[in-house]
Amino acid sequence: MKHTLDDIMFQGSDHTDPTRISCFGAVDHVRLDGSEYSAVFSTSLDVKNGLIEDYLVFAYLSRLGLKPIHPLT
């Protein structure tokens, strides 16, 4: 598995509010059957006093061919 970061952004704040760190990139890996897969992702971290306060990851996984557990339709 390999992660590639395309961009990192810092949104500064004063000492009472968290600092937001956002990064965008791709993750590449090889499946057990030897086929390769790449997915783009975005991560958002809120850091306060040197600790991660909130962490969100968004990944585009449609090419995996997974079916939703709870279909919306």
Distance CA 27, CA 55 (A): 18
pLDDT at residue number 32:
84
Per domain, the residue ranges of the chain are 2-64
Q: Is the pLDDT of residue 65 over 70?
A: no
pLDDT over threshold 60, residue 4: yes
10-51 residue pLDDT tens = 987 666 678 899 999 998 888 888 888 888 999 999 998 889
Whole-number pLDDT of residue 68: 58
CATH architecture label of 2-64: Roll (3.10)
- Is residue 62 over pLDDT 90? no
Nearest to 56 by CA among 71, 45, 47, 65: 45
Distance CA 59, CA 73 (A): 22
Handedness of CA 64, 45, 72, 40 (dihedral sign): negative
CA neighbor of 1 nearest in space, from 19, 33, 26: 26
pTM assigned to the model = 0.66
